[in-house]
Chains A and B, each alone.
Chain A
Amino acid sequence: MSAISQELLDEVALSRAEYEAIVDRLNREPNPLEIGLFGALWSEHCGYKHTKALLRTLPNTSDRLLVAPGAENAGVVDIGDGYAVAFKIESHNHPSAVEPYEGAATGVGGIVRDILAMGARPLALMNSLRFGLPDDERQRYLLNGVVSGISGYGNCIGVPNVGGEVVFDPSYAGNPLVNAMCVGIIEDAKIMSASADAPGDLLVLVGAKTGRDGIHGASGLASRTFQEQAEMRSAVQVGNPFLEKVLIEACLEAINLPGVVGMQDCGAAGITSAAVEMAERSELGLNIDVAKVPRRENEMSPYEVMLSESQERMLLAVKPGHEERLFELFEKWDLDAAIIGTFEAGNQVVVSDGAQQASSTPVVTLTDAPEYQFNSPKPAWLGELQSFDLTALPDLEITPNEALLKLLASPNIASKHTVWRQYDHQVQNNTVVSPGGDAALLRIQGTQRALAISTDGNGRLVYLNPRVGAAIAVAEACRNLSCVGAEPVALTDGLNFGNPETPDIQYQLQETVAGISEAAAAFDIPVVSGNASLYNESAGSAVQPTPIIGALGVLEDVGRHAKSAFRDEGDVVVVIGADSPWDDINGLAGSEALSVFHDEVAGNPALDLDLEIRVQQLCRSLIAKGLVNSAHDVSHGGVSDAVVESAIQGNIGATIMHDATIHDWVAALFGESQSRIVITCATPDAEVVLNAASKAGVPATRIGTVGGDRVRFADLIDLPLETVGDVWLNSFQTATSG
């Protein structure tokens, strides 16, 4: 038994057993610097101790795959015409809970550098956010801080922020989720690797100076639960988006210089993680001299320099003799560039402070964090929730008109345009479909192609059935792409869960990954990158299990795309994906309606993946044939919400008829059964559309007509477009400005 104090172990979030394993491997006690290095690299954030084994089971092959998942900072897929795309989603939950502006801002900065490290120019950002209910002042503070942080950072770096999600649920009150996705484009497939070539290659640190900010960000904030937020404030980094912008431009120039062979971003655990990972990938040793690191604070110890998470820094691997042009380039951009080490033969990471050696540790010992495997049983409480009797719900005491308005006013459904307008979503001149549509669509300059991107997650459904809920997240993220006409080609996943040392959370994790795998396999697309954020708990209470799925789609002809807004008076409204869009009572499972009207999160959501895939293929083929005037995914709020949103966006009403008996109008109007898309087409095309659906084996029902200035649903709902528009467009602002 080692004499190390529990306090010191807690500081770096290592368990006593892990510490003993380190002593065992080194055959000696680690010195204080080494304890810091292990704490960072064996943290949940860097070491993926509880998720590595699970993540290996995700589908990871595709003809389009140029860089395999896990091999580099982000996976890369071929999108044709000589272009490749790197993309990844990452969480910054804990920093955002402590300091929302800087936490969210540096979350954006971090994911952008991950993409930059692949040699890609960042093309677009998306964010997926979760908070507690906005009737609480602290939640509004967190929301506004996070949105301002994303806006303040993202707008400054000239990367369009094309949307995402903002969702509220009480489970996120103590632990908001801030996931940021970045998509970058690489021309002529000139992909960078985060590795050196050979012994003697130089390790060059570029960008901002190093300070004491963010020490223990990876091991502390991201890898355990926390209760006293204030005490953690010093572990949150502070971002400088201006430096990030010039760093992007400088690095994109630098990779074209001769002798620049590798690039890596400094993210969680700073130089420690970045440099050691480069050494591991290069199968080389590394000597680092912390005395060479440009600093903005005096008398920093090797420990502080190695573990600082100062932002806007990158590491380059450079062939000796090529450093002068690199220095000139960074001087042109007014950025520091310093040789801080050399790659060596062998496999030892040696850290020195000038002439004095501070630590010497084998690379693999540092990087080979323990793996924890588990197979936990389904919790008993989950079975009870799933068997909740949706048919026994009490009747609503409000009219369908009132119910629709109430649902449209829910901050989960109301338009988020007051958020999106704070983000520059147009810079770079590519944005064809802006935030607020099902997916954002970005054309690729100089080609006919476009990229569609979407993020989707539904904590409630995953909570109720982790496997099916996760598959639904994949299905819906892909459905969003199909609604603009793009074919899904790859996924990234951000797993946000509670404490993985408890059986219920383990069950959620294992089932969620299985659900993502099943769905990705069904779509035949790989999960190319991802991130796991665990310990999302506050005072012993975990967030809903929330996998956020980022999906990337390719559209061959940007001229043939669809938007969600209704277009022309007289167009026919068709629901594809359901025999009757109206009568699936199980569509209320985990729905927004169940939550808003009955204050329940219960039921057992269902998904038919085969049908889902046929529905999406049909939607894309109809759009490609130019038959679709609008397409909108049926999601929160059901068919009625999908129709109302399209009507408001198109500033034209609709009349939806139904001749069969409606047994339960709440389920009919607001049920959220999967695999449904509301499309509209010109009247003469309606038969063609219905025939195509029939041939594709997709149920399709003509449900009404676009036109007028009211929205009507059978004999249930009849409201002026202006009324529903006011509620949908203004409620989010009202609910969140307190």
Chain B
Amino acid sequence: MKFGIVVFPGSWSERDMHYAVSDVLGYQAEYVWHREAKLAGFDAILLPGGFSYGDHLRCGAVAAHSPVMGAIKEFVENGGFVFGSCNGFQILCESGLLPGALIRNDHLEFRCSAGTLRVETSSTPFTSQFSAGDVVSMPISHGEGNYQADDETLATLEASGRIVFRYVDAENQASAEANPNGSRNNIAGITNARGNVLGMMPHPERACESLLGSSDGNPLWQSIAAAVDAGKS
């Protein structure tokens, strides 16, 4: 199992992702520079959080046109697993690999806190090691995580089980109080129609050890590894 972790100028979660998948879980991981136009030897690609290109134009807008994104689109078309969190999610939306857009948090502030999420489905390559309905803790840290999509797109996402994570409160309700940024339907993470691309605002790589407050992010990487294994066997 080998993860490729893309590095854009201004990324800052790449080292945390490397730590979570490699130091904590023991998978292989290698950085991929954004100018690489070809991807070879990777089982899954991770797009990290951060401020690629300083959020110039819009979050993720410039990174979406990096040479590596062409290679990633090809990788996705071939059924490869691609995961993006935070700025990675923004890049996936900007590049058209995921529908919708992430705009400024409704309260207009950056928000860093523990995030409480409900796993809406375990029937994805990213969540098979969770149980549907699990309430998990993964930190959030963003200024522009307010997920927006038109009604039709939203209905499609809901109907086809593509909403993978939702912000919930202590009572497991997707309430307004639980929503840290104004996202429609409390959406924290979604997949593409084929189900091999996941984008989410929370940071599973930060939830990798109980010493840091949570290890709830680890099943996500283990799910990807299981999906890769299943594909190989």
A contact set with B: CB distance below 8 Å? 151-152, 155-158, 240-243, 245-246, 332-334, 420-432, 443, 445-446, 558-559
Q: Is B139 an interface residue (CB 8 A)?
A: yes
Max chain B CB contacts within 10 Å: which of A241, A242, A333, A334?
A242
Question: Taking the nearest CB of chain A, how far is it from the CB of B12, in angstroms?
Answer: 3
A422 and B51 contact, Cβ closer than 8 Å, known pairs A242-B10, A445-B19:
no
CA distance in complex: A559, B12 (Å): 27
Question: Which residues from A are CB-within-8-Å of B19?
Answer: 429, 445
Contact A427–B13 (Cβ < 8 Å): yes
CB atoms of A246 and B10 under 8 A apart: yes
> Closest Cβ of chain A: how far from B26's Cβ, in Å?
14
**Is A425's CB under 8 angstroms from B112's CB?**
yes
Complex-state Cα separation, A429 to B12, whole angstroms: 11
Closest to A434 in B: B213
Given contacts A158-B50, A245-B51, contact A426 B206 (CB under 8 A): yes
B residues near A242, Cβ cutoff 8 Å: 9-10, 51, 53-56
Asked if residues A422 and B211 are in contact (CB atoms below 8 Å), the reply is no
B51 / chain A contacts, CB cutoff of 8 Å: 155-156, 241-242, 245
Smallest CB gap from A559: residue in B:
B211
Are A428 and B16 in contact, CB atoms less than 8 angstroms apart? yes
Q: How far is the CA of A158 from the CA of B111 in the complex (A)?
A: 14
- Which residues in chain B, 1-34, are within 8 Å of chain A measured between CB atoms? 9-10, 12-13, 15-16, 19-20, 23, 33
- Chain A: minimal CB distance from B112 (Å): 5
Nearest CB in chain B to that of A242: its residue:
B54
Q: Is the Cβ of B10 less than 8 Å from the Cβ of A156?
A: yes
User: Are A155 and B9 closer than 8 Å at their CB atoms?
Assistant: no
Contact with A along B200-220 (1 / 0, CB 8 A): 000101101101100000000
11 examples of A-B residue contacts, CB within 8 angstroms: A156-B51, A158-B13, A241-B51, A242-B53, A242-B54, A243-B54, A246-B9, A421-B111, A422-B109, A427-B13, A432-B212
The answer on a CB contact under 8 Å between A422 and B12 is: no
Do B205 and A333 have beta carbons less than 8 Å apart?
no
Contact B54 A558 (CB under 8 A): no
Task: Write the chain B residue with the least CB distance to A425.
Answer: B112
- Provide the residues of chain B in CB contact with A430, threshold 8 Å: 212
Interface core residue of B33, B205, B212 (most chain A CB under 10 Å): B212
A151 and B16 in contact, given A424-B141, A426-B206, A429-B205 (Cβ under 8 angstroms): no
- Which chain B residues border A446 with CB–CB below 8 Å? 23
Interface centre among B9, B13, B111, B113 (most CB of A within 10 A): B9
Cross-chain contact B20 with A429 (CB below 8 angstroms) = yes
Q: Which residues of A lie under 8 Å from residue B211 when comparing CB positions?
A: 432, 443, 558-559
17 further interface pairs, Cβ-Cβ under 8 Å (given A421-B113, A558-B211): A151-B110, A155-B141, A156-B55, A157-B12, A241-B54, A242-B9, A242-B51, A242-B53, A245-B10, A245-B51, A245-B54, A246-B9, A426-B212, A427-B16, A427-B206, A429-B19, A429-B20
Interface of B is mostly: mixed
In angstroms, how far is the closest chain A Cβ from the Cβ of B11?
A: 8
Sorted nearest first, the 3 A-B pairs with minimum C-beta distance are A242-B54, A158-B12, A156-B51
- Name the CB-closest residue of B to A243: B54
Cα A171 to Cα B139 with chains together (Å): 38
Min CB–CB distance A147 → chain B (angstroms):
9
Interface centre among A158, A428, A431, A558 (most CB of B within 10 A): A158
CB neighbours (8 Å) of B212 from chain A are 426, 429-432
B145 within 8 A of A: no
- A243, A333, A334, A426: the one contacting B141 at CB < 8 Å is A426
Question: Is B20's CB under 8 angstroms from A421's CB?
Answer: no
Q: Report the Cα distance A306→B211, complex, angstroms.
A: 48
Given A241-B54, A421-B112, are A428 and B10 neighbors across the interface (CB < 8 Å)? no
Q: List, in ascending order, chain A residues with CB within 8 A of B209's CB.
A: 429
Cα–Cα, bound, A334→B9 (Å): 9
Chain B residue numbers with a CB within 8 Å of A559 are: 211
Is B199 part of the binding interface, using a Cβ–Cβ cutoff of 8 Å? no
* Residue in chain B with minimal CB distance to A248: B12
Residues A429 and B110 in contact, CB atoms below 8 Å apart: no
Complex Cα distance, B13 from A9, in Å, reads 49
Give the residue name and chain of the B residue nearest to A431 (CB): B212
Q: Once the chains are docked, how many angstroms separate the CA of A423 from the CA of B49?
A: 15
Q: Is B143 an interface residue (CB 8 A)?
A: yes
| B111-127 contact mask (Cβ, 8 Å, vs A): 1 or 0 | 11100000000000000
A558's closest neighbor in chain B, by CB?
B211
Q: Please, which residues of chain A bring their CB within 8 A of the CB of B20?
A: 429
CB nearest to A423 among chain B residues? B112
Q: Mark B154-169, 1 if CB is under 8 A from A, else 0.
A: 0000000000000000
Tell me the residues in window 27-54 of chain B with beta carbons closer than 8 Å to chain A beta carbons: 33, 49-51, 53-54
Q: Which residues of B contact A156 (CB under 8 A)?
A: 10, 51, 54-55
**Given A156-B54, A245-B10: A426 and B112 within 8 A (CB)?**
yes
Nearest Cβ in chain B — how far from A443, in angstroms?
A: 7
What A residues does B109 contact at CB under 8 A?
151, 421-422
